[in-house]
Amino acid sequence: MTPPTSRTDRDEAVTVRAGESATTPPADDVVLRAVDISKTYGVTRALKGVNFEVRRGKVTVLFGENGAGKSTLMKILSGVEQPTSGHLELDGEVVELSSTTQAVDRGISIIHQELNLCPNLNVRDNIFMGRELRSRGQVDFARENEITRELMARLEEDISPTTLVADLRLGQQQIVEIARALATNARILIMDEPTSALSAHEVVVLFKIIRELKARDVAIVYISHHLEEAIEIADYAVVFRDGSLVATADAADIDLPWVVANMVGRAAEYDFTDEPREHGEVALSVSNLRVPDPDASGRLAVDGVSLQVRAGEIVCLYGLMGAGRTELLEALAGRQPIASGRVLLGGRDLRGMSVAERIAAGIGLVPEDRQRDGLVQLMSVGSNLSLSSLLAMVKRWFVARGKERASVQAMMTEVRVKAAGPAAPITSLSGGNQQKVVIGKMLLTRPKVLLLDEPTRGIDVGAKGEIFSLLHREARKGLAVLYATSEIGEALSASHRLVVMSKGRFVREFDPATTTREEVLAASGEPAPEVLHSGAPQ
Amino acid sequence: MSETTAGPRILGRRVNVNKLLVEGRALVALAIIIVAFSAMSPNFLQPDNLILMTRHVAMNAILAMGMLVVILNGGIDLSVGSAVGVSGVIAGYLLQGAQLPFTDLVAYPSVWVVILAALAVGALVGWVNGLVIARLNVAPFIATLGTLYIARGIALLITNGETFTNLRGEESLGNTGFLTALASDPLGIPMPVWLMVVFAIVFSLILNRTAFGRWLYATGGNERAAELSGVPVRRVKVLIYVMSGFCAGTVGLLLTADLPAATPRGGELYELNAIAAVVIGGAALSGGRGTVRGTLIGAFVIGFLVDGLVLVGVSVFWQQVIKGAVIVLAVAIDQIQQLLQKRRDLKRAAASNPPAGPAPTPGSTGADAALAGTR
């Protein structure tokens, strides 16, 4: 755990970097330089005098927790925001980027963390939005289609240019977002969390493309919460903490502990495991479940899955995008209709029960897309927390305020939400704290089984740890947990049992204590037929 | 600490500066109207005139409260004007004596039965709206546009285009008292005003204190999230249109008693005044945002404006122009305010500092506490 070039303050970082000139590439390799950039919002100092360089043909990876200042810096580099002080130099010349259009004109493109697509338009029109190819006063759709097809071929996605974006899965939408940035032929490409919804295979393809871009001298700035993934693609690593750049290093010299140590300011382990213990009764029993694919009629998204989760047990569903994890969880929660099969909750058949009835019976879902499915943005933290359990708080017509306040306060303490209070708007919370509210909302209904779909999507390391330790605490009290993830580290370190899904079926089951990443990854890519459970193949 | 986290910590209610400003804006408009018209006409602030104007406001306010619950859900109810017409006509029809089918008998139901029947008819129109919208997934605009025509057509069919004017009933038939019940002035305050107050209290309680009220705000704010949270979104949807229809039924009775006549054309275009009141009162047509208080203020703004213009002798044509301009202006200001709020949110999001405490200092980041939890 002794990092090669760990530094704790900015001035030192600058000095040491200057001293490293032997290994530093010549200065003309720097295409974009941020000089002494500060950004202040009211009393909050989001960036404190940051010096940052982007080099031609290299991948510079930014590490840092949420709120460390990475996204603010990227917004400044891409013209979304202007710095309070400091300036940008492009090819050695001082430039002012007062809009994204200016940035794009100068060859700087950004793939935003949040998807910026029009779901009502097709893939082609989204990719060329605002930059339509014209010939003789009309849009040249044929040419646009052709370029879109080429981009999709490069990204190894089988998406037709005329597919509606609304019909794509989240991961595919992210691919479209990436394709849009690629289509601008930028010299400097900023990727803010480009892989949060991508499957392992899609990440491999993206990395291949990043290497191609590097070969063409494109400078890339990359931000990801998937630390290992980011280390893999990095040429240079830069760590932010509290608005300052605290460490820089050559990618060859760094490892995961170094990154994490610099991010949090001290050494920390990335581990959520707990000691083995006996699990209770079977809480959830799924037999031979089939769920139709909501996007394609006639196809099964879940094809004959059987599973048991015991009280106190944490089971992980691992699989690639499209493996059927989301559909399985949504079917269990009552969000999607099932084609056949049986779901028993503590022996009680859930057939025909609505989402509300299932929550009352003791099974609830923490959905994948927090903003779209998890939160009511107009309501306060407290109202979001109590939303699922209001009926239990009703006394003679009205919601008992004292009772609600007490439950909400207790749950905020239990899930450790950091907020100004129950009345704070939910939108004022960080992603991690919002996720804790969504989980807390379900815990307030006193569930027997908690389903979580990608519970750590877009959340920083610290909050990830908190969320898993919260699940472990609840499991110790007897909650059965079933969570889906596409992050292998989380799949292995946080679960008692690991089930790999592929193409709607269970392919293998692992004991996380005795298995390796490679085994799990290999299983998730396996075709399908080697079915463990009684899912009868037709 | 950002401005939105300040303010009283009332659980479940987003009491914040922005909300007060939105309502404040309607209040300011109301104040301007009152000051301007009382300067132009000495009669404007006379108690008699105030009571008269409030009486005019009351019916629109009751309709607007029904409209509010629909708009909170993100819907719209264009059929309320027709529901007013058809429930008024039903009341008139029953008071005149209802011909029983296949017999020569004419039934004269008592006044309470008449009132209940008219309310039921209003609620029925709403129920049909709700079913079509919640079960058949027809857009609220279209579904209620359909019932706008259907209900109006039924009102015309019942009366054959005529107007029922004999609403007094006869002692011998035991159906007198309709006008006393609805067009009287208990304690000098007209019945519609009393009912407006009752509706305001009941709707406030429903929206702020019941689980249903919270569900309504939640479905309007994010229907998918509400559904996954176990909120019975369809039941909520049906119920709000029933509530709106019930309000229309009440207004149908009040209008009939006020005229006093049951005309099949009664209530035409009332839906537009109701929508205007809700919107001026700060509600978002996209749902999830709006209050009873704001809606009442909105109804007063429109009512006082129209009556004031009449009082100072502005031509009917100009009245229309001015009313329209006020509505657009009110919503434009609302949009500007929301834009400013969004900008503040964006800045906060970009800063993305944990809002729980003061700006984090090195060495005491949220991550420390976070990681402590994993041990």
pLDDT digit string (tens) for B272-292? Answer: 999 999 998 888 888 888 999
Q: Give CA separation, B25 vs B217, B295, B333, B334, in Å.
A: 22, 12, 8, 8
The whole-angstrom separation of Cα A530 and Cα A444 is 40
Q: Does pLDDT of A53 surpass 60?
A: yes
Contact A425 B5 (CB under 8 A): yes
In a domain, B59, yes or no: yes
Q: How confident is the model at residue A71 (pLDDT cuts 50, 70, 90)?
A: confident
The whole-angstrom separation of Cα A286 and Cα A505 is 13
In DSSP notation, A295-336 reads SSTT-EEEEEEEEEEETT-EEEEEE-TTSSHHHHHHHHHTSS
Q: How confident is the model at residue A538 (pLDDT cuts 50, 70, 90)?
A: very low
Contact residues, B window 202-231, toward A, CB-based 8 Å cutoff: 205, 209-211, 214-215, 217-218, 220-222, 224-231
CB A304 within 8 A of CB A340: no
Contact B217 A379 (CB under 8 A): yes
- DSSP 8-state assignment for residue A122: B
In a domain, A538, yes or no: no
CB B292 within 8 A of CB B299: no
In a domain, A492, yes or no: yes
Residue A376 at interface with chain B, using a CB cutoff of 8 Å: yes
Q: How confident is the model at residue A243 (pLDDT cuts 50, 70, 90)?
A: confident
In a domain, B54, yes or no: yes
In a domain, B43, yes or no: yes
In a domain, B13, yes or no: no
Are A66 and A157 found together in one domain?
no
Q: Give CA separation, A106 vs A31, A97, A211, B34, B367, in Å.
A: 11, 9, 22, 56, 37
What pLDDT score does B10 carry?
43
* Closest residue of chain B to A440, computed from CA coordinates: B229
What pLDDT score does A23 carry?
43
CB A441 within 8 A of CB B214: no
Contacts of B224 in chain A (CB under 8 A): 372-373
Give the type of residue at B272. Answer: L
Contacts of B204 in chain A (CB under 8 A): none
The whole-angstrom separation of Cα A111 and Cα A186 is 11
Least confident of A56-65, A427-436, B340-349: B340-349
Are A286 and A395 found together in one domain?
yes
The whole-angstrom separation of Cα B107 and Cα B120 is 18
Residue A403 at interface with chain B, using a CB cutoff of 8 Å: no
Last residue of a domain, one of A235, A270, A305: A270
Q: What 3-state DSSP class applies to A6?
A: coil
Calculate ∠ Cα A50-A55-A61, nearest 5°.
65
Are A171 and A195 found together in one domain?
no
Contact B354 A404 (CB under 8 A): no
Q: Which of A204, A247, A175 is nearest to A3 (CA)?
A: A247
What pLDDT score does A6 carry?
42
Q: Does pLDDT of A132 surpass 60?
A: yes
Pairing of strands A134-135, A108-111: unpaired
In a domain, A534, yes or no: no
In a domain, B113, yes or no: yes
User: For all residues of chain B together, what is the average pLDDT?
Assistant: 82
Q: Does pLDDT of B132 surpass 70?
A: yes
Per-residue pLDDT reduced to its tens digit, A388-409: 888 888 888 888 888 889 999 9
Per-residue pLDDT reduced to its tens digit, A503-516: 888 888 888 888 87
* Lookup result for tokens 């919640």: B134
Contact residues, A window 293-352, toward B, CB-based 8 Å cutoff: 333, 335
Share of chain B above pLDDT 90, in %: 39
Residue B228 exposure: Cα atoms within 13 Å on the Cβ side:
30
Are A142 and A263 found together in one domain?
no
Q: Does pLDDT of A216 surpass 50?
A: yes
Contacts of A391 in chain B (CB under 8 A): 211
Q: Does pLDDT of B55 surpass 70?
A: yes
CB A177 within 8 A of CB A111: yes
The CATH number of the domain holding residue B59 is 1.10.3470
Contact B5 A424 (CB under 8 A): yes
Are A173 and A208 found together in one domain?
no
Calculate ∠ Cα B31-B34-B39, nearest 5°.
125
Of A262-276, A297-311, B175-189, the range with the highest mean pLDDT is A297-311
Average pLDDT over residues B80-97: 90
Contact residues, A window 447-486, toward B, CB-based 8 Å cutoff: 460-463, 465-466, 468-470
Q: Which of A109, A424, A430, A222 is nearest to B350 (CA)?
A: A430
Q: How confident is the model at residue A297 (pLDDT cuts 50, 70, 90)?
A: low
Are A176 and A59 found together in one domain?
no
Q: Does pLDDT of B366 surpass 50?
A: no
Q: Does pLDDT of A12 surpass 50?
A: no
CB B256 within 8 A of CB B155: no
Last residue of a domain, one of A241, A270, A299: A270
Q: How confident is the model at residue A198 (pLDDT cuts 50, 70, 90)?
A: confident
Contacts of A399 in chain B (CB under 8 A): 12, 209-211, 214
In a domain, B347, yes or no: no
Q: How far is B9 from chain A (nearest CA, A)?
A: 5
Q: Does pLDDT of A530 surpass 70?
A: no
* Overall domain count for chain B: 1
What pLDDT score does B345 carry?
63
Question: In A106-226, where does DSSP find H-type helix?
Answer: 123-127, 141-154, 170-183, 200-215
Q: How confident is the model at residue B23 (pLDDT cuts 50, 70, 90)?
A: low
Share of chain B above pLDDT 70, in %: 83
Residue A422 at interface with chain B, using a CB cutoff of 8 Å: yes
Q: Does pLDDT of A36 surpass 50?
A: yes
Give the type of residue at A258. Answer: W
Are A301 and A341 found together in one domain?
yes
> Which domain covers residue B323, as residue numbers?
22-341
Last residue of a domain, one of A218, A245, A270: A270
Q: How confident is the model at residue A66 (pLDDT cuts 50, 70, 90)?
A: low
The whole-angstrom separation of Cα A229 and Cα A211 is 14
> Which domain covers residue A173, as residue numbers?
115-181
Contact A376 B226 (CB under 8 A): yes
Residue A400 at interface with chain B, using a CB cutoff of 8 Å: no
Q: How far is A131 from chain B (nearest CA, A)?
A: 26
* Closest residue of chain B to A373, computed from CA coordinates: B225
Contact A465 B351 (CB under 8 A): no
Are A20 and A70 found together in one domain?
yes
Give the type of residue at B122. Answer: G
Contact B11 A427 (CB under 8 A): no
Q: How far is B57 from chain A (nearest CA, A)?
A: 29
Contact residues, B window 5-34, toward A, CB-based 8 Å cutoff: 5, 7-16
Contact A378 B221 (CB under 8 A): yes
Choose the closest CB to A430 out of B7, B352, B373: B352
Per-residue pLDDT reduced to its tens digit, A157-181: 888 888 888 888 777 888 888 888 8
In a domain, B257, yes or no: yes
Q: Give CA separation, B151 vs A47, B61, B63, B73, B144, in Å.
A: 62, 21, 16, 23, 10
Q: What is the ipTM of this complex?
A: 0.74
Total residues found in chain B within this entry: 375
Q: How far is B344 from chain A (nearest CA, A)?
A: 9
What pLDDT score does A531 carry?
34
Contact A46 B5 (CB under 8 A): no
Residue A424 at interface with chain B, using a CB cutoff of 8 Å: yes
Are A448 and A307 found together in one domain?
yes
Are A240 and A323 found together in one domain?
no
Q: Does pLDDT of B14 surpass 50?
A: no
What pLDDT score does B336 carry?
80
The tokens for A176 are 């479209």
Q: Does pLDDT of B197 surpass 90?
A: yes
Share of chain A above pLDDT 70, in %: 87
In a domain, A532, yes or no: no
The whole-angstrom separation of Cα A90 and Cα A211 is 23
Q: How confident is the model at residue B105 (pLDDT cuts 50, 70, 90)?
A: confident
Contact B11 A45 (CB under 8 A): no
Contacts of B209 in chain A (CB under 8 A): 397-399
The whole-angstrom separation of Cα A462 and Cα A440 is 18
More confident residue, A78 or B364: A78
Q: Does pLDDT of A29 surpass 50?
A: yes
Contact B373 A44 (CB under 8 A): no
Contacts of B341 in chain A (CB under 8 A): none
In a domain, B169, yes or no: yes
In DSSP notation, B322-373 reads HHHHHHHHHHHHHHHHHHHHHHHHHHHHHH---TTSSSP-TT--HHHHHHHT
Q: Which of A473, A406, A463 is nearest to A437 (CA)?
A: A463
Q: How far is B348 from chain A (nearest CA, A)?
A: 7
* Overall domain count for chain A: 3
The tokens for A491 are 């799949």
Are A331 and A233 found together in one domain?
no
Per-residue pLDDT reduced to its tens digit, A356-367: 999 999 999 999
Are A133 and A62 found together in one domain?
no
What pLDDT score does B368 carry?
35
Least confident of A228-237, B112-121, B142-151, B333-342: B333-342
Contact A265 B362 (CB under 8 A): yes
The CATH number of the domain holding residue A389 is 3.40.50.300
Q: Does pLDDT of B375 surpass 80?
A: no
What pLDDT score does B47 carry?
86
Choose the closest CB to B211 out of A66, A268, A391: A391
More confident residue, B204 or A68: B204
- DSSP 8-state assignment for residue A498: E
Share of chain A above pLDDT 90, in %: 12
